[in-house]
């Protein structure tokens, strides 16, 4: 899977895979997950207004 640093995030939605090459802090990762999953949570898991 080409892991070269930690944390490494590999997202496998049904039928596809989505690479991640952005920031490694919790807010950046939460933003990526929100975008891919259609959710709206902050880095602490709290629901946001977006």
Please tell me the predicted confidence (pLDDT) of residue 13: 83
Give percent of the chain above pLDDT 70.
98
What are the counts of helices (DSSP H) followed by strands (DSSP E) for the chain? 1, 0
Structure tokens of 17?
């895979």
Domain of residue 12: give its range: 1-44
> Is there a domain that residue 32 lies in?
yes
The answer to whether position 18 is within a domain reads yes
Region 3-15: what's the mean pLDDT? Answer: 79
* Rounded average pLDDT over 6-33: 85
The band of 48, judged by pLDDT with boundaries at 50, 70 and 90, is: very high
The answer to whether residue 49 sits within a structural domain is no
> What's the pTM value of the predicted model, to 2 decimals?
0.72
**What does the pLDDT read at residue 16?**
83
**Average model confidence (pLDDT) across the chain:** 86
Residue 50 lies in a domain: no
Question: For the stretch 3-37, what's the b/e string if a residue is b when 16 or more beta carbons lie within 10 angstroms of its beta carbon?
Answer: eeeeeeeeeeeeeeeeebeeeeeeeebbbbeeeee
**What three-state secondary structure class fits 33?**
helix
Domain count for the chain: 1
């Amino acid at each position: 899977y080409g892991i070269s640093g930690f944390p490494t995030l590999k997202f496998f939605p049904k039928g596809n895979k989505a690479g991640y090459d952005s920031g490694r802090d919790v807010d950046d990762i939460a933003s990526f997950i929100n975008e891919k999953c259609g959710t709206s949570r902050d880095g602490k898991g709290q629901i946001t207004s977006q």
